[in-house]
A and B are shown apart, each in its own frame.
Chain A
Amino acid sequence: MATTSISSDLFENQASRSIDQEDICITCEDFSLSYGTKQALFDINLKIPTNRATAFIGPSGCGKSTLLRCMNRMNDLIDGINISGQMKLHGKDINTRDVNVTELRQQVGMVFQKPNPFPKSIFENVAYGLRLQGITNKTEIEDRVEWSLVNSALWGEVGDRLQDNAFSLSGGQQQRLVIARAIAVRPQVLLLDEPASALDPISTLKIEELIAELKSQYTVVIVTHNMQQAARVSDYTAFLYLGKLIEFGPTNVLFTAPGERQTEDYITGRYG
């Protein structure tokens, strides 16, 4: 009955599990957000499992990036934001006053749409978060940098030119460098905000391969416009529409047998 444009062989290596069997990392409970008078998120209830890749899909302006940015409170920087409901990391609300935002962000790392390496060397980019934490031991920093670059599949390409400026890398390499920078501080969660949308297909492929590897160690939350990408990399998918969570479930179920009409319309390309 559901004629999706995505063939089911995409999901062959994804275990079909129920969310109830998962260890939950982030929980949204009646989470709402408004910019001034304009409400952007409406009573979101969502459980994001640990060490899985969860994708947020939905048309532009549906609030998926906003929701993602709430997970490490990047929205604090914006004027006139009001939130209600709860956003919990391992059962603890992250929006209470006793939460140290910088510690939270060390646990919940984030990668943005556009590669944003700092105007420093490759090495210093990766070491940045470590130095922020006050790590001064040189060998430790070097080890962590190497580990991060290896884990972000960049070591082979830049291992011999760590002192080069980060801007000498290609866009895809820069994005992997930013991921290396994020994982260097050993976060639990990695938020990826359309990480491959500014990249060419080959770089995109590399990023996707990287995500597939990272999710064994990190809880990955990825916002994407590209439904094939969501289908390829994620274990769970949430579909948001006009600030509301329409449907959330295992990716193979959501793409092959969406429970909601709106989801089906979206993934079959009727809007978006």
Chain B
Amino acid sequence: MDKANSTIETQAKVNWRWRKIKDELMMRVVQVGGAAVIGAIALIFIFLLSVVYPLFEEPEIHESARYQLPSTALGPSLMLGVEEQAEIAFRVTKDGSVLFFDVSNGQSVINYKLPISDDDAVLGVRNVSEASRLLAANLKSGGLLFFKHEYDLEFTETERIIHPKVVYPFGQEVVDLGESAIMQFAVGENEDNLTIFYQNEDGKLGLTGFEKVSSFISEDVVLEEIDNSFLNSSHEPVALLVDPEQEWAYVLNDRGTLALYDIRDIASPDLQEVIDVTNQSSKPTGIEWLIGGISVLVGDDSGVVSQWFKIRAEGDVPYTLKKIREFKVDSSGVNKMASEQLRKGVVAAAESGKVNFFYTTSERDLMTIAATEGEVQHIAIAPRSDILLLEDSLGQLSVWDMDNHHPESSLSGLWGKVWYEDYQKPDYIWQSSSASSDFEPKYSLIPLTFGTIKAAFYAMLFAMPLAICGAIFTAYFMRPKMRALVKPSIEIMEALPTVILGFLAGLWLAPYIEQHLPGVVFVLIFVPLGIILSALIWWRLPFEIKSKIPEGWEAAILALPIITIVMLCMSASTAVEGALFEGNIRIWMSENLGVGFDQRNALIIGIAMGFAVIPTIFSIAEDAIFSVPKHLTSGSLALGATPWQTLVRVVLPSASPGIFSAVMIGFGRAVGETMIVLMATGNTPVMDFGIFEGMRTLSANVAVELPESEVDSTHYRILFLAAFVLFMFTFFFNTIAEIVRQRLRRKYATL
């Protein structure tokens, strides 16, 4: 007996231990699972942020070398430049020497001499085109000499050796521009033509156009003069500019005015406008192109750099110059400016030796350094914007390493209106890439966010009434048998891959609606009316007919009038379009109402994405309504409330947090939905809320552009930012929904 007892006891103990182990084990598994989910979300969050963060990082700069100018004896430079690898730099001196030297230590690499006579001298050198490395020098003896700095690369086993050289693309001949020496000049150059705009010793402003003609035999290119003319200028010019397409010439004079000439006909330049470009008392100190040849930068002695470009004017001249933005460099006055070769960044040096970096489009004032002891004479930015060379008046050259990867992104640029070149006014624009190389990407997240909200809005407009009313009917009025059929059917819609919905919407629904637009509008009007009418007729029907329909299945008969109305509307569509809208409602709308029509528009998205979110909203809302305790409804009914009164006064108020949460989750889903919007919106990042206009959403944008963007580029990081914004959107809506749902659950627990 004792033995038996003890066996039972041991058995019980073993069982107990085993149960405890299982319990512990399962608890740990569940805990690990839960923590892993939270961890995964946190990791996504951290990863997105880590990719996005560098966008807003402050740039860094530090001095890597400082040395005396190589071949100091030849005097200060007339031009300073760096090649693409930022290993070799060159300077041009008065005697016509082109001195190449090692950027890191100033060691001379090789010296060239321009083909000028010993008693001649170079007065100045200007960059013609940074992309083709073409330079032009004006000579004391008159005329311009064009030359290029070029680099041959040689690869040995272990290293890359760069061999600099000087070439003469238009021959070693000096381009003759009359007897007197050229004091100032500007050159506009493209593939076929070259225009020189100059001021000679006599103070005259001359304009000469050339055509590039290549010889059949030697393939040498020579310049052949097409035309020339002289302009009158009442003030002393400070600087001249010609745009690369040689359509416009700019003259900045000492009074602070900028004159714009139309030079499309070189023989008769046409003065378009003279405009004050400096503040009242300040004098201009220089003018520079921003890359692309559209914006000009004007520096003045009050230390302000202003950006100008021409926009379409309203008056008698077609264009007018407009100040777009300005940057304060240093009150000592702007001494020298240089713009980056691949971006719209600018380096401006002040008289005080301070050097300021700013980025025009993003309006970011990036940094200011006290760079040199003397005044900055020349600024050279390496093409990749990683090295900066400064020559000061004391003959010292300083080399700066720059770490400045994403100056073009700023909060104001991403979320505010930006005035881009050639636009009439500041605007929100997303245009990340283009075929043209001097194109400036435009990264405003506003059109995408707008498109996302628009798509979600129209989807909700379509889905919310249907899903919520459906949920109310199913949960509250429907007979259990019918409910057992309807609820799973709607929920199974959720399993439909959205790519199929998108495909159907884009390739079938969109063209169909385009062809039957009046019919669709009629459906939207007449179906609700028809439903109300059917209900009225049903109410009036004699009891004998009503009693033949099983109770609770009345709604099923509604399918009949709905289908009939839809078919009638669709078949009447073409006839109505012909009779009322001159055969084409789309053209009629744009002509008479000014409403544009995209085939893939918000209506399509509303229907297709609405279809995708209906099951989500329906399912959660139905659960919320159905789980309103039955004793509450019977309590209300027992007080003599009609089912409708009970619904409105007891059921809906109790279930409203659940319905709200359903709507939020549906909205979150609509915001994050990708395939449908990708395939059926047209993906045009426009900011138009019209129902017949397309849109581009954050999600579709990421899906379209991320595979094509360069890793770690600004574009790439901004796409991650878009993804992050999207994540925050859905996170926000789902969190709200979940909080409301938790509250609801707690509330029901006490009922």
Contact = CB atoms under 8 A, between A and B. Distances in A.
Q: Is A bound to B? A: yes
B640 A79 contact: no
Contact of B641 (A102, A120, A182): A102
B645 interface: yes
Contacts of A109: 638-639
A128 B632 contact: no
B640 A112 contact: no
Interface in A106-158: 106, 109-110, 112, 114, 116-120, 128-129, 131-133
Counting chain B CB atoms within 10 Å of each CB, the highest count among A72, A74, A116 belongs to: A116
Nearest to A129: B639
Contacts of B642: 102
Interface stretch (B14-22, B175-183, B647-655): B647-655
B747 interface: yes
Interface of A: 72, 74, 77, 79, 97, 102-106, 109-110, 112, 114, 116-120, 128-129, 131-133, 167, 178, 181-182, 185
17 contacts: A77-B637, A105-B637, A105-B638, A105-B639, A106-B640, A116-B629, A118-B636, A118-B650, A119-B653, A120-B653, A128-B641, A129-B641, A132-B641, A133-B640, A167-B750, A182-B639, A185-B639
Contacts of A185: 639-640
**Interface range on chain B: under 10, 10 to 19, 20 to 34, or 35 or more?**
20 to 34
Contact of A116 (B480, B632, B649): B632
A110 B479 CA distance: 24
A223 to B, nearest CB: 14
B658 to A, nearest CB: 13
4 nearest interchain CB pairs? A106-B640, A110-B638, A116-B635, A129-B639
A112 to B, nearest CB: 6
Contact of B640 (A117, A120, A129): A129
A128 B649 contact: yes
A132 B480 contact: no
A128 B636 contact: yes
Interface in B480-519: 480-481
Contacts of B543: 97
B553 to A, nearest CB: 12
A132 B637 contact: no
B435 interface: no
B1 interface: no
Contacts, number: 68
Contacts of A112: 631, 634-635, 638
Nearest to A191: B638
Interface string B714-751: 00000000000000000000000000000000010011
Interface in B594-652: 629, 631-632, 634-642, 645, 649-650
Counting chain B CB atoms within 10 Å of each CB, the highest count among A104, A110, A185 belongs to: A110
Interface of B: 479-481, 543, 629, 631-632, 634-642, 645, 649-650, 653-654, 747, 750-751
B504 to A, nearest CB: 38
Contacts of B649: 128, 131-132
Nearest to A107: B640
Given A116-B629, A119-B751, A132-B645, A74 B636 contact: no
Contacts of A79: 479-481
A105 B654 contact: no
B327 to A, nearest CB: 61
Contact of A74 (B634, B653, B654): B634
A221 to B, nearest CB: 13
A106 B639 contact: yes
A185 B635 CA distance: 13
A73 to B, nearest CB: 9
A103 B636 contact: no
Contacts of B638: 72, 74, 105, 109-110, 112, 182
Contacts of B631: 112, 114, 116
B751 to A, nearest CB: 7
B645 to A, nearest CB: 6
A185 B641 CA distance: 11
Given A104-B640, A112-B634, A128-B639, 20 more contacts: A72-B638, A97-B543, A102-B641, A102-B642, A110-B638, A112-B631, A116-B632, A116-B634, A117-B635, A118-B636, A119-B632, A119-B654, A119-B751, A128-B649, A129-B640, A132-B640, A132-B649, A181-B639, A182-B639, A185-B640
Contacts of B654: 119
Contacts of A110: 638
Contacts of A77: 634, 637
A104 B543 CA distance: 21
B747 A103 contact: no
B747 A119 contact: yes
A103 B637 CA distance: 11
B655 to A, nearest CB: 11
Contacts of A132: 639-641, 645, 649
Nearest to B633: A77
Contacts of A129: 639-641
Given A116-B629, A119-B747, A178 B637 contact: no
Nearest to A184: B639
Nearest to B642: A102
B402 to A, nearest CB: 65
A97 B750 CA distance: 39
A58 B649 CA distance: 36
Contacts of B636: 118, 128
Contacts of B637: 74, 77, 105
A2 B750 CA distance: 46
Contacts of A102: 640-642
A49 B632 CA distance: 30
Nearest to A102: B640
